[in-house]
Amino acid sequence: MLIDTHCHLDFDEFKADFEDVIKRAKLAGVIAMQTICTNLDEWERIHKLTKNDFPIFCSVGTHPLNIKDTRIYKAKEIAAICNNNKVIGIGETGLDYYYDTEHKVLQHESFVEHIIAAQETGLPLIIHTRNADSDTINILREYKKQKDFSAVLHCFTSSEKLAMESLELGFYISASGIVTFKNAHDLHSLFKKIPLEKLLIETDAPYLAPTPLRGKRNEPSFVKHTAEFLADLRGENFEHFCQETTQNFFKLFNKAKLN
């Protein structure tokens, strides 16, 4: 029983074999997945993917690296789109100074609008952060004090300090296939320390396929490899690990309902 909590099924890499991707996910034990919005201009295209017999949920948001190519959606606009039973999260949003330091102000403005939307709707925030630990946690703390909201730091590759500070705020930490990489020693150490009740797993497909499939197109069925690796790394029973991380998904994304 697994859930791919973060993937991008709308990307071109899945156009040719979308239904086969879903079939393989089911065979791997995946019972649901969340396809993540990275550009609100294209949300309708993403929403269409949720009209499937298999449980596919989605989020609404604009990736920080896409801000420069679109407009900043206001919190009320984001919240309005959430009035749909398949929309279960806000994002992905956040800060990325690794690829783009030129548009920091725009990234900040968009991040804040997404946070406010999460506060208004009660839906969890899906956070992307890269090379922006200090600004990310400072913004999150500031708005958490004003009004509560829940969140997950997805595809976590940042510092242990940021992870622990985020856990103190009650947020979740999500592991992608990167944690399975041989040289990801810092992540191996970190993910031994993350409380099981605050841990999620994801593929971030079509990117970042886990070992032993590294270099291939990633897809939701591959989340099983990440789960197996983490269960072994943490010395936990695989079935128990899958059950707990699946329960975590439904606790955080509590709007998600299986038919």
Residue 178's CATH number: 3.20.20.140
Sheet holding 56-60, edge to edge: 2-7, 30-35, 56-60, 87-96, 125-130, 151-153, 172-175, 199-201
Confidence of residue 257 (pLDDT cuts 50, 70, 90): very high
Confidence of residue 131 (pLDDT cuts 50, 70, 90): very high
Confidence of residue 91 (pLDDT cuts 50, 70, 90): very high
Q: What is the mean pLDDT of residues 103-131?
A: 98
200 contacts 249 by C-beta, under 8 angstroms = yes
Going by the annotation, the residues of the binding site for a divalent metal cation are: 6, 8, 92, 128, 154, 204
- In eight-state DSSP terms, residue 52 is S
Q: What total number of domains does the chain contain?
A: 1
- Average pLDDT over the chain, rounded to whole? 97
Quote the pTM value.
Answer: 0.97
Going by the annotation, the residues of the binding site are: 6, 8, 92, 128, 154, 204
In a domain, 259, yes or no: no
251: tokens are 């606790």
Confidence of residue 149 (pLDDT cuts 50, 70, 90): very high
In a domain, 63, yes or no: yes
In a domain, 257, yes or no: no
Domain residue limits at 62: 2-252
- pLDDT of 245 reads 99
- pLDDT of 259 reads 73
In a domain, 66, yes or no: yes
